[in-house]
């Protein structure tokens, strides 16, 4: 009798069934559907990447030799033995990188080479290398990095100094003993390689894992939910979700894994964590690095969508996720499940899963955040800095009692015409407002936006990043005004995606009974998941909470500024996410959240929804905003004349007295550092009246 095979994971697999002919055929079609999107590189492109890595590895080894000669006067016969190595991690190491993607690298050096050497002498070597372009160092980052373009390939290089006299060529970075006597920056730098290698070690079939992950990454990017910095999931988080599904179905084909992925992750009982292996608090090397555990660490209890890295010290890779981004991702997972279910039923093709998002048709109101600079070098630094702070603006908007959802599009757009300037990019945030029946609403976003701009500029001065010509501007626009900022091609794609989604919804409602059968099949799988001690609890209550209500997009709506249907035919996006009682605490330690007892208590979503049942929200009036051409926005909706003496009680200014975040106490408060030359939007009030 053959011994039972041990499968990786914290639970046993749900099914050991192998692929059927239909699964293999759908997997082949899946690969064919992904090829036009540039997810596979040619042999020539792969060879070029290998050549670039070989060159950068040679530079590192020669640099370590030079440092050894200058600092310690080692004899020449010993210098060659010190070694040094460039390791890869991220999508390239996982084998799922796409055409033109960057490569995440780690410079591993022996103990006599310091981090200061890396950011000084090695940086100078790179500066004098002809193949290197767009070179910049971010030494103050949480994980310090050097960014560059090496012979056309973008590289991000971290640095880790090991407590070893020599670096072996075949070193295994998964060995926990390497973490002994290391500082936190080196441990964080090593974590990328350690996590990537551990993921590959924990999946039962790497080929099926890679093909499924390629599909999920492409889908997430098309739907605009691929960005760790902006509160969505990054590459490593999506990889761990796919790896967990592969553990539950170790013998399944990629098409089957993709179907199971949407089934399980869509109904996951957040904030229950996703784990690839059990949490480890103690080890034989007596390392004392903090490990994610809400039972021990109070701050971990406020994480909304925890996905835990498998390498020690285990951490949450999704601490930037907010209520809005979790709601948006849940909605997209629900739509993905519907599409893949139809593909298995023969009623849809794989191309439907990779259609672009209808983001620019989904909302009536948008916030446009523009970052610009005069010089190219300044622009590269400013762009990355502003992008890292956008989640603060989303957090400000989320805490506004009138805003139900703030959806930031992770892909910025460049200048639309020459008058915009060469070094400029724009991010777009779609807004959905809380509906209140038979009540006029004054929505004042001025404080939320001005506090963000104050924070961005003051912190830039604080870290000596601010240069002349660096600007950040924020405007409110309606959907019909997007043609002033968004290329017509992207607007057309968004409109087509909205029409296609409406068409699928109409077909889905006509075949409701068939969908119920698919959901019944989904429950049979989730019951097996629930039977495991450490797996998810997929109760009916969570299933109902995860359902979202979305208005259909009118297919005849136009994007021109004179089209009334483009304003009224709006889609209310997002799903009502159940708010845990711990998340309602005003002392939440999520970054940029208000702290202290003086913070206002926001009304619960359930109360707002009950008071706003079937109450249409029409935009009646907006305080005129000067556009670039100097003209005021034309109002086309039906408006009632309003007397000048009539007073309306604003319902959003009550949160102005909230305390600043405890994370950045000297930067969030508008009252601090008043003498700094900070650009503010004092003359650009953003007020909306909702009826």
The string of DSSP codes covering 38-49 is T-S--HHHHHHH
Give the model's pLDDT for residue 548. 36
Q: When comparing pLDDT for 643 and 201, which is higher?
A: 201
What does the DSSP assignment read for 95-126?
A: T---TT--EEEEEEE-TTS-HHHIIIIIHHHH
Greater model confidence, 106 or 291 = 106
The pLDDT of residue 684 is: 56
- Strand 153-161 to 103-109 pairing: parallel
31: left (phi over 0), alpha (psi -120 to 50) or beta: alpha
Is 451 considered catalytic here? Answer: no
CA 605/CA 617 separation, integer angstroms: 16
Q: Which residues contact 37 (CB under 8 A, 6 or more apart)?
A: 218, 354
pLDDT band at 289; cut points 50, 70, 90: confident
Whether residue 612 is predicted with pLDDT greater than 70 in this model: the reply is no
Helices (H), 235-305: 235-248, 254-266
Name which residue leads in pLDDT, 280 or 523: 280
Q: Among residues 23, 27, 85, 104, which one is catalytic?
A: 104
Look at residue 560 and tell me whether its pLDDT is greater than 70: no
pLDDT at 609 over 60: no
Q: What is the mean pLDDT of the chain?
A: 77
Q: Which of 27, 68, 91, 324 is the catalytic position?
A: 91
Look at residue 514 in the predicted model and tell me its pLDDT.
Answer: 53
Say if CB 224 and CB 31 are below 8 A apart: no
pLDDT score of 405: 92
Residues 6+ apart with CB under 8 A from 35: none
Is the distance from CB of 654 to CB of 599 less than 8 angstroms? no
pLDDT of residue 554: 34
Q: Is the pLDDT of residue 651 over 60?
A: no
Query: How large a percentage of the chain has pLDDT more than 70?
Result: 71
pLDDT 10s digits, 346-401: 999 999 999 999 999 999 999 999 999 999 888 988 998 999 899 899 999 999 98
The better pLDDT of the pair 279, 256 is held by: 256
Question: What whole-number distance in Å separates Cα of residue 662 and Cα of residue 597?
Answer: 13
pLDDT in tens, 259-273: 999 999 999 999 999
CA 222 to chain centre: 13
Collapsed DSSP state (helix, strand, coil) of residue 689: strand
Which residue among the candidates 27, 68, 117, 217 is catalytic per the annotation? 217
Q: What average pLDDT does this structure show over 440-455? A: 88
Per-residue model confidence (pLDDT) at position 102: 93
Question: Choosing from 23, 156, 448, 525, which is the catalytic residue?
Answer: 156
Asked if the model's pLDDT at residue 303 lies above 90, the reply is yes
User: Looking at residue 636, what is its pLDDT?
Assistant: 38
* 580 contacts: CB under 8 Å, gap ≥ 6: 271
- In this prediction, residues 281-307 reach a mean pLDDT of 86
pLDDT digits (tens, 9 = 90+) for 132-188: 998 989 888 889 999 999 999 999 999 999 999 999 988 999 999 999 889 889 999
Q: Which pLDDT value is given to residue 683?
A: 36
The reported pLDDT for the residue numbered 516 is 52
CA distances from 263 to 55, 333, 341 (A): 44, 8, 9
Q: What is the mean pLDDT of residues 512-531?
A: 47
Q: What is the mean pLDDT of residues 499-505?
A: 79
In sequence order, what are the residues at sequence separation of 6 or more whose Cβ sits closer than 8 angstroms to the Cβ of residue 283?
176, 312
Residues 6+ apart with CB under 8 A from 416: 484, 485, 486, 487
- For the record, the structure tokens of 418 come out as 């020459």
Taking phi over 0 as left and psi of -120 to 50 as alpha, with beta for the rest, 174 belongs to: alpha
Asked if 234 and 50 count as a contact pair (C-beta separation under 8 A), the reply is no
The tokens 């590269």 sit on which residue?
Answer: 380
The active-site residue, picked from 12, 15, 55, 102, is 102
pLDDT at 538: 30
**pLDDT tens by residue, 67-99:** 988 877 777 778 888 889 999 999 999 999 999
More confident residue, 603 or 112: 112
* Residue 74 bears catalytic tag: no
Give per-residue pLDDT as tens, 32-55.
999 999 999 999 999 999 999 999
Position 563 confidence tier, pLDDT thresholds 50, 70, 90: very low
Closest CA to 271 of 302, 250, 310: 302
- 448 included as an active-site residue: no
Reply yes or no on whether the pLDDT at 546 is more than 90: no
CB neighbours of 183 closer than 8 A, spacing ≥ 6? Answer: none
Longest dimension (CA), the chain: 90
504 or 607: which leads in pLDDT: 504
SS (H, E, C) 293-318: CCCCCHHHHHCCCCEECCCCCCCECC
Strands of the sheet containing 365-372, edge to edge, are 403-408, 424-433, 365-372, 471-478
What are phi and psi for residue 84, nearest 5 degrees? Answer: 120, 145
pLDDT for res 471:
92
Tell me the per-residue pLDDT of 201-232, one tens digit each, with 9 for 90 and over. 999 999 999 999 999 999 999 999 999 989 99
Residue 329, token pair as written in the block: 């991702």
Which residue in the list 27, 189, 197, 226 is annotated as catalytic? 226
Instruction: Tell me if residue 420 is catalytic.
Output: no
Q: What is residue 109's three-state secondary structure?
A: strand
């Amino acid at each position: 009798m053959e011994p039972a095979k041990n499968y990786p994971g914290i639970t046993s697999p749900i099914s050991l069934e192998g692929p059927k002919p239909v699964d293999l055929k759908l997997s082949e079609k899946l690969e064919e559907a992904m090829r036009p999107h540039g997810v596979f590189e040619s042999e020539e492109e792969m060879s070029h990447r290998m050549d670039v890595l070989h060159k950068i590895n040679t530079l590192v080894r020669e640099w370590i030799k030079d440092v050894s000669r200058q600092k310690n006067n080692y004899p020449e016969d010993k210098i060659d033995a010190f070694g040094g190595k460039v390791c890869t991690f991220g999508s390239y190491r996982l084998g799922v990188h796409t055409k033109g993607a960057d490569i995440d690298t780690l410079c591993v050096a022996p103990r006599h080479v310091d981090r200061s050497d890396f950011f000084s002498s090695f940086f100078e070597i790179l500066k004098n290398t002809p193949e290197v372009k767009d070179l910049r160092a971010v030494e103050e980052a949480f994980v310090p990095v050097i960014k560059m373009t090496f012979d056309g390939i973008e590289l991000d290089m971290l640095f880790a100094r090991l407590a070893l006299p020599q670096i072996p060529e075949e070193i295994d970075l998964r060995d926990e003993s390497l973490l002994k006597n290391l500082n936190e920056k080196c441990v964080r730098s090593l974590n990328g390689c350690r996590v990537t290698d551990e993921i590959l070690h924990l999946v039962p079939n790497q080929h099926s894992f890679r093909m499924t992950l390629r599909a999920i990454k492409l889908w997430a990017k098309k739907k605009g939910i691929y960005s760790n910095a902006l509160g969505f999931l990054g590459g490593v988080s999506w990889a761990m979700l796919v790896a967990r599904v592969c553990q539950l179905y170790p013998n399944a084909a990629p098409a089957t894994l993709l179907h199971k992925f949407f089934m399980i992750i869509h109904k996951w009982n957040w904030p229950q964590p996703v784990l690839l292996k059990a949490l480890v608090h103690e080890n034989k090397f007596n390392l004392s690095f903090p490990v994610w555990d809400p039972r021990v660490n109070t701050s971990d209890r406020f994480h909304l969508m925890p996905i835990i890295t498998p390498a020690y010290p285990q951490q949450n890779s999704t601490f930037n996720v907010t209520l809005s981004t979790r709601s948006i991702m849940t909605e997209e997972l629900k739509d993905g499940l519907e599409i893949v279910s139809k593909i298995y039923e023969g009623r849809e093709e794989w191309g439907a899963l990779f259609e672009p998002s209808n983001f620019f048709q989904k909302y009536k109101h948008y916030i446009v955040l523009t970052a610009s600079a005069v010089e190219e070098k300044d622009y590269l630094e400013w762009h990355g800095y502003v992008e890292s702070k956008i989640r603060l603006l989303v957090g400000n908007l989320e805490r506004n009692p009138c805003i139900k959802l703030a959806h930031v599009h992770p892909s910025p757009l460049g200048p639309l015409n020459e008058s915009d300037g060469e070094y400029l990019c724009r991010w777009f945030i779609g807004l959905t407002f809380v509906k209140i029946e038979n009540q006029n609403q004054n929505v004042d976003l001025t404080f939320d936006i001005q506090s963000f701009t104050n924070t961005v500029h003051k912190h830039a001065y604080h870290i000596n990043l601010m240069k002349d010509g660096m600007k950040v501007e924020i405007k409110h626009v309606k959907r019909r005004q997007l043609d002033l900022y968004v290329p017509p091609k992207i607007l057309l794609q968004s409109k087509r995606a909205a029409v296609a989604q409406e068409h699928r919804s109409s077909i889905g409602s006509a075949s409701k009974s068939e969908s119920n059968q698919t959901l019944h099949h989904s429950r049979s799988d989730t019951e097996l998941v629930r039977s495991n001690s450490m797996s998810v609890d997929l109760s009916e209550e969570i299933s109902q909470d995860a359902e979202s209500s979305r208005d259909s997009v009118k297919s005849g709506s136009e994007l021109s500024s004179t089209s009334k249907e483009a304003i009224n035919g709006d889609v209310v996006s997002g799903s009502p996410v159940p708010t845990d009682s711990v998340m309602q605490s005003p002392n939440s330690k999520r970054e940029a959240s208000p702290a202290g007892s003086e913070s206002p208590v926001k009304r619960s979503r359930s109360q707002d929804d009950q008071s706003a049942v079937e109450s249409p929200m029409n935009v009646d009036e907006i305080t005129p905003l000067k556009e670039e051409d100097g003209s005021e926005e034309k109002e086309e909706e039906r408006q009632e004349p309003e007397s000048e003496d009539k007073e309306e009680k604003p319902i959003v200014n009550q949160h102005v007295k909230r305390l600043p975040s405890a994370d950045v106490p000297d930067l969030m408060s508008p009252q601090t550092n008043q003498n700094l030359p900070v650009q503010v939007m004092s003359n650009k009030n953003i007020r909306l009246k909702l009826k």
